[in-house]
Amino acid sequence: MLLVIYLYWTRSILITLKRIQITVLVDKMSQDEPMTIATLGSHSALQILKGAKDEGFGTLLICEENRHSLYKRFRFIDEILTISHYDELLDSRCKQRLDNTKSIIIPHGTMIAYFTYRDIENISVPIFGNRKIFQWESDRNLKQKLMNASQLITPKLIQRKEDIDKLCIVKLHGAAGGRGYFLAWNKESFEENATSLLNQRRIRSEDDLFIQEYVIGVPTYLQFFYSPLNRQIEFLGADIRYESDIDSIGRIPAKQQLSISLQPSYNVIGNLPLVLRESLLEGVYVMGERFVKASEELVPPGMIGPFCLEGVYDKEGIFTTFEFSARIVAGTNLYINGSPYSELIYDEPMSMGRRIAHEIRIAKEKGFLNQVFT
């Protein structure tokens, strides 16, 4: 017991020290020096760095060797720091380069999927957004708690495979990009697919799986930005994911579908744009605002910057939220030149990547950088 208290206490002290270190670093950046926006070479890196350049920042990409040839094609990337593995982001060589270039990091899905929340908590470079909230994104229980506190309608959770009595979607923990997800309608269909994942060593036991009621309707990703500077929420876009193989099954006639044993996956290949019926928009803002308020209460300082509510609109136009992302989502890559919604707010093309850099620029000009970094 004493050991647990000691470890907890030591960890709290280390986190506080890290916070002070970041605050000092950010304060230094506030003085009129040029700043660099850095990110990992993956996910939405092109959009983030293009937006940074458009807002007048230097840009730095940290990428694995095998992606160097892709990213070197783009002139808005000032410097590429090549690493052999993402792990090296935590090494002193990266840290030194980030410090020397006065860099801050914009987190995205690859960073959340690859690093543990502890790794992210320990990065001693300022991160745009609330780094504590990434734990809430990657832990299913915390995620559900935040969605409940936001008064969002969520799919029913099924605790035991024996209780499956209607169509369910079975998921792996973490941001798996839909890979390995499967449908089950009873205990047997659950076990059949779980065994296959066990054989492939994708899971260690059935406990690694998470069962949710399957909601029938239009899967929709709602893209928001919350500005802690003006305390306003902006709805900047919506998208549909196009997933392999589930979205291409309709191209095969039913007779052939029945003749092949196909277990479709939900692996995201790309995103399609979506414009919502205007009558749905008020509800979209209400959901976004509730989410911002609940995160302020549960994970202070709350939501900073981009986030996404992910769910399904049913035939009554009711939105059931199955997930959230507390950072930029790849679906925003659609709107690099602005979206039908950003166009209503800004007179210039405003991608989510640029919106982030815009917030940093305003915060820097007003001396409020500590409100957007943690």
Interaction of residue 182 with ligand ADP, rule CB under 6 A: no
Interaction of residue 313 with ligand ADP, rule CB under 6 A: no
One-letter amino acid for residue 358 of the chain: H
Three-state SS across 154-187?
CCCEECCHHHCCCCEEEEECCCCCCCCCEEECCH
Which residues are CB-contacts of 350 (< 8 A; sequence separation ≥ 6)? 236, 338, 342, 358
Which one of residues 323, 324, 332, 363 is an interface residue with ligand ADP (CB under 6 A)? Answer: 323
Which one of residues 136, 190, 224, 322 is an interface residue with ligand ADP (CB under 6 A)? Answer: 322
Distance, in Å, from the CA atom of 227 to the CA atom of 306, rounded to the nearest integer, reads 9
- Give least dist CB 323 to ligand ADP, A: 4
Which residues are CB-contacts of 204 (< 8 A; sequence separation ≥ 6)? 198
Which one of residues 310, 351, 363, 372 is an interface residue with ligand ADP (CB under 6 A)? Answer: 310
Stretch touching ligand ADP by CB under 6 A, among 7-15, 49-57, 60-68, 176-184: 176-184
Stretch touching ligand ADP by CB under 6 A, among 14-22, 66-74, 208-216, 347-355: 208-216
- Give least dist CB 262 to ligand ADP, A: 16
Which one of residues 164, 215, 238, 294 is an interface residue with ligand ADP (CB under 6 A)? Answer: 215
Could you tell me the two tokens for 281? 């928009």
- Give least dist CB 43 to ligand ADP, A: 12
- Give least dist CB 290 to ligand ADP, A: 19
Based on CB atoms, which residue is closest to ligand ADP, 243 or 359?
A: 243
Distance, in Å, from the CA atom of 304 to the CA atom of 302, rounded to the nearest integer, reads 6
Q: Enumerate the H helices of the chain as residue ranges.
A: 2-30, 45-54, 68-71, 92-100, 109-114, 117-122, 133-138, 140-149, 187-199, 254-259, 281-298, 342-345, 352-366
With CB under 6 A, what is the number of residues at the site for ligand ADP?
18
Q: Minimal CB distance to ligand ADP: which residue? A: 178
Which one of residues 182, 266, 307, 335 is an interface residue with ligand ADP (CB under 6 A)? Answer: 266
Stretch touching ligand ADP by CB under 6 A, among 81-89, 192-200, 202-210, 214-222: 214-222
Interaction of residue 155 with ligand ADP, rule CB under 6 A: yes
Distance, in Å, from the CA atom of 68 to the CA atom of 62, rounded to the nearest integer, reads 9
Query: Residue holding tokens 């050991």?
Result: 3
Interaction of residue 136 with ligand ADP, rule CB under 6 A: no
Which one of residues 175, 330, 356, 363 is an interface residue with ligand ADP (CB under 6 A)? Answer: 175
- Give least dist CB 236 to ligand ADP, A: 18
What stretch of H or E contains 226?
Answer: strand 218-227
Phi, psi of 222 (to 5 degrees): -100, 120
Distance, in Å, from the CA atom of 327 to the CA atom of 230, rounded to the nearest integer, reads 19
CB burial class (10 A; 0-12, 13-18, 19+) of residue 208?
Answer: middle
Based on CB atoms, which residue is closest to ligand ADP, 129 or 219?
A: 219
Nearest 10 degrees: CA dihedral of 83, 86, 92, 94?
60
Which one of residues 214, 285, 346, 368 is an interface residue with ligand ADP (CB under 6 A)? Answer: 214
Based on CB atoms, which residue is closest to ligand ADP, 313 or 335?
A: 313
Residues in contact with ligand ADP by CB under 6 A are 155, 169, 175-178, 181, 212, 214-215, 219, 241, 243, 266, 310, 312, 322-323
